[in-house]
Structure 1
Amino acid sequence: MAEFFNSISRRKFLLTAGASAGTVLLAGCLGNPPEDVGGNAAAPTTAQPVANISSEQAPETTAVKLGYVPIVEAAPLIIAKEKGFFAKYGMNDVELSKQASWGSARDNVEIGAAAGGIDGGQWQMPMAHLITEGVITKGNKPIPMYLLAQLITHGNGIAIADKWQGKGVDLKLSSALVSQVKADGKGGSRFKAAHTFPNVNQDFWMRYWLAAGGVDPDNDIDLLPVPSAQTVANMKTGTMDAFSTGDPWPYRIVKDKVGYMAALTADIWKNHPEEYLAIRADWVDKNPKATKAILKGIMEAQQWCDNFDNRQEMANILSQRQYFNIPVDILIDPLMGKYDMGNGRKIDDRTMAPLYWKDEKGSVSYPYKSHDLWFITESVRWGFLPQDYITNNAAKAKALIDKVNREDIWKEAATEAGIPAADIPTNTSRGVEEFFDGVKFDPEKPEEYLRSLKIKKANV
């Protein structure tokens, strides 16, 4: 199974996320960049804070190379760089490297920054766990990773081609549509849905939405990987019916009037975990103080991002050529929680927006181990991982989570940074989670959750 996963993820599933491929080295302090093509506003000049750290907390190195994919999940990394929060804690030489795809990020963290790759960065879940296990690496070689912080809540959506307007493809699928899709799957024109990389969260969002409506994503439709930047063109030509990815791509499909949004992931699972910061374990073990300095910079950036008075400036920064290279107006409304879904539904709710520091359930930045367990349980649900990860009260899954999830380092960094005790969770479980179809996930009973699901590959 691991060899099959490695083969398909390497050869077929690439994400081209945004503008240019390859590595982009980012300057430590922007002056006044010119207005970008496509109406992108110039970002304001940023004053770099002066580092004020004790000798006990001074990082072992001031340099790290972090990869990112240009979607809203990357904002804390970019803002920490641009607003000087990394430098404030002694990390003056943080290099942000734009990744051409999730596959490229995986390959680059395998080789490490010393060999021209990256030390870590932004990841979909549970990529850090799969890389640690050697499930998606070259030759299935384990590359231990540490998951250090959650970057964001929300920020993803399910976009649908305009030809499905009024035909029952909305937040919940109509029974007539489900019957049609199943009939087409037996020989007709099959419904085609896509995600950006297999067996990780954007794949999971599409699978959960379809299965909740009674559609088996493995048997009733074609579920494919497609580069994000290709989705608008595919919907224009009528070759793609649905797509799951991060902002700004779903909203761009609406703005270009080629599709609409059936659901935000905030509809499917309110206050759900999204992407994470993870770094190679060998780098963290060698540089524990530098790791905490990185975390402090990201925490401060997340708090800055969660001040909605900063979101216009945030959109201006993210829109620039070296980052997302898209017009500001594609970014600003979703960042403010304003969504024209393109099907008559309009949302103006900041609790539905991308959130980086706090949401209605509490901490966003803290990496709850119970969330890791949900992603691993879903991996078992769809046959991406063997069932023995979840048997015996998920002993194998929990052992892997304990190895990868370093919430203890997050807590140390938060304490050193003076984060109020009320903002530092005391439990590694966020408790029972509930989804839009009424299904509940109790992290104390993952097998019971699997048994409750009607559509699955796992024989539980």
Structure 2
Amino acid sequence: MTDKSCTRNDNLAWVAGSDAPEKRTVNLGFMALSDSASLIVAATQGFAQPYGLTLELKRQTSWAGLRDRLLSGELDAAHSLYGQVYGTHLGLGSAPTEMAILMGLCQNGQAINLSEPLRQAGVTRADALAARVRQHGAKLTFAQTFPTGTHAMWLHYWLAAQGIHPLEDVNTVVLPPAQMVQHLKTGHIDGFCAGGPWGALAVDEKQGFTLATSQMIWPDHPEKVLACTRAFVEQYPNTARALTMAVLEASRFIDASDDNKRSTAQLISGGEYLDAPLLAIEPRFLGFYEDGLGYAWRDDHPLRFFADGEATMPWLSDGMWFMTQFRRWGLLREDPDYIGVARRVHQLTLYREAAEALGIVVPEHPMRSSRLFDGHVWDGTDPAGYARSFAIHARSSAIAAASL
């Protein structure tokens, strides 16, 4: 790894006396995805030890398994899907358990890929896909990674914007991200939405092509978070703060230079982490994309881990957006207390303490405004109205509930 001395902070106020971590060994879950990088770097490159922590990385094979181990206490904290945390908190697909988001882990970097047979059939644009869906015959099958997760929401949102009802016009299945390419290859699915490196690997192995990236849907969108149960934060507040500081430093290190990104990509490609070819990780890690259709570009909104704190800030409006989509798709039968739930889940005080100790600027207002690709503006001011504003939505909660 590249020398990180320029990013280290000598303020170790949280490691002594009453601020010392109550629990010094933290079991940290992660999935084999490029956006788990800051946890891997924090655990293996010396970012945790100055805060009195040892981070034990635990690779998981599915998001459902990760959730269950987090709730059982087998994992203390984990690389988590933003929407999954809210789904667990609200009791969607499992018993409601109060959850906590310590910080954001990344923005951008996911992809919607279609299969090689669809490419050969000329279905290489959104309008061609919509035309194919309108044809009579067997429905296309798309995979996402978890019913309340980010990939389900990106896939639903993108399909609906093309006039395709994600709950009625196509079939959807849940698969672990590392299995997407194999299922595409065998013809079990016609497309998928997942994080890197699996979209790039499908292109590299000529099993499909990238039709859209998640940052095309929402530039600099929220993606993975560092999550734990609220009970963990309440029992081990100093540990949670120290963990946040260690991961914040690792996030800042990764984004500091392309050299740091390259060395990080090399690290995480290893068998104990992603176990994937470096050539499927590094280019998109650096923002270089090829879609498998002959087009290559440098993305203006690449996968990013820090971005001067914008990517790590646990914006309340980000969490609220996922609840609006749960309401839109019938996963919630009534509007929740959007801001109240978000304030309960997001550990803003703890994040502010950790960030400010590291010299990271924390915005005074925990809401942000974004324009998505279909023209809808999201700023969190009217979540109930926003959830009702879409022409395509669940016609009944029974349809959406069946997917859980």
TM over 0.5, shorter chain: yes
Counting only pairs closer than 5 Å after superposition, residues 198-277 of structure 1 correspond to structure 2 as: 198-277=147-226
Call closer, same or farther: CA 1:156–1:448 in 2, change over 3 Å: same
Call closer, same or farther: CA 1:132–1:449 in 2, change over 3 Å: closer
Number of the residue aligned with 1:130: 87
Number of the residue aligned with 1:442: 379
Q: Is residue 180 of structure 1 aligned with residue 142 of structure 2? A: no
- 1:160-198 CA deviation, whole Å, 9 max, x = no partner? 11222276745x621x542431233xxx12111111111
Q: Is residue 278 of structure 1 aligned with residue 227 of structure 2? A: yes
Separation of aligned partners in 2, 1:327 and 1:252: 8
Call closer, same or farther: CA 1:220–1:107 in 2, change over 3 Å: same
- 1:206-250 CA deviation, whole Å, 9 max, x = no partner? 111110000001111111112323322222233321100000000
% of aligned pairs identical?
31
Number of the residue aligned with 2:401: none
Counting only pairs closer than 5 Å after superposition, residues 16-415 of structure 1 correspond to structure 2 as: 53-54=12-13, 55-56=16-17, 57-91=19-53, 93-112=54-73, 117-137=74-94, 140=95, 142-165=96-119, 169-170=123-124, 173-174=126-127, 177-184=129-136, 188-307=137-256, 308-349=258-299, 351-358=300-307, 363-389=310-336, 396-415=337-356
Quote the offset at 1:289 in angstroms: 1.5
- 1:36-55 CA deviation, whole Å, 9 max, x = no partner? xxxxxxx78999x8986232
Amino acid at match of 2:248: M
Separation of aligned partners in 1, 2:353 and 2:169: 48
SS of residue in 2 equivalent to 1:427: coil
Q: Is residue 426 of structure 1 aligned with residue 364 of structure 2? A: yes
SS of residue in 1 equivalent to 2:12: coil
SS of residue in 2 equivalent to 1:160: strand
Gaps of 5+ in 1: 1-42, 390-395
Q: How many residues matched? A: 391
SS of residue in 2 equivalent to 1:239: coil
TM-score (normalizing by structure 1): 0.80
Separation of aligned partners in 2, 1:168 and 1:399: 47
Amino acid at match of 2:295: R
Amino acid at match of 1:444: T
For the Cα contact (< 8 Å) 1:121–1:277, is it kept in 2? yes
Flag as ranges the 4+ runs of structure 1 deviating above 4 A.
43-47, 49-52, 166-170
Separation of aligned partners in 1, 2:355 and 2:129: 49
Quote the offset at 1:82 in angstroms: 1.4
SS of residue in 2 equivalent to 1:388: coil
Separation of aligned partners in 2, 1:451 and 1:133: 20
Number of the residue aligned with 2:399: none
Call closer, same or farther: CA 1:50–1:444 in 2, change over 3 Å: closer
Amino acid at match of 1:87: Q
TM-score (normalizing by structure 2): 0.91
For the Cα contact (< 8 Å) 1:381–1:458, is it kept in 2? no
SS of residue in 1 equivalent to 2:322: helix
For the Cα contact (< 8 Å) 1:155–1:246, is it kept in 2? yes
Amino acid at match of 1:173: A
For the Cα contact (< 8 Å) 2:63–2:176, is it kept in 1? no
Separation of aligned partners in 1, 2:378 and 2:10: 43
Call closer, same or farther: CA 1:90–1:219 in 2, change over 3 Å: same
Larger displacement relative to structure 2 (273-282 or 369-378): 273-282
SS of residue in 1 equivalent to 2:138: coil
Call closer, same or farther: CA 1:128–1:451 in 2, change over 3 Å: closer
Quote the offset at 1:380 in angstroms: 0.5
For the Cα contact (< 8 Å) 1:157–1:250, is it kept in 2? yes
Separation of aligned partners in 1, 2:241 and 2:20: 10
SS of residue in 1 equivalent to 2:82: coil
Separation of aligned partners in 2, 1:412 and 1:45: 26
Separation of aligned partners in 2, 1:271 and 1:322: 29
Amino acid at match of 2:234: D
SS of residue in 2 equivalent to 1:153: coil
Gaps of 5+ in 2: 397-404
Quote the offset at 1:111 in angstroms: 1.2
Amino acid at match of 1:248: P
RMSD over aligned Cα atoms: 2.3
Separation of aligned partners in 1, 2:92 and 2:130: 33
Quote the offset at 1:66 in angstroms: 1.4
SS of residue in 1 equivalent to 2:139: coil
Separation of aligned partners in 2, 1:51 and 1:191: 55
Separation of aligned partners in 1, 2:123 and 2:50: 48
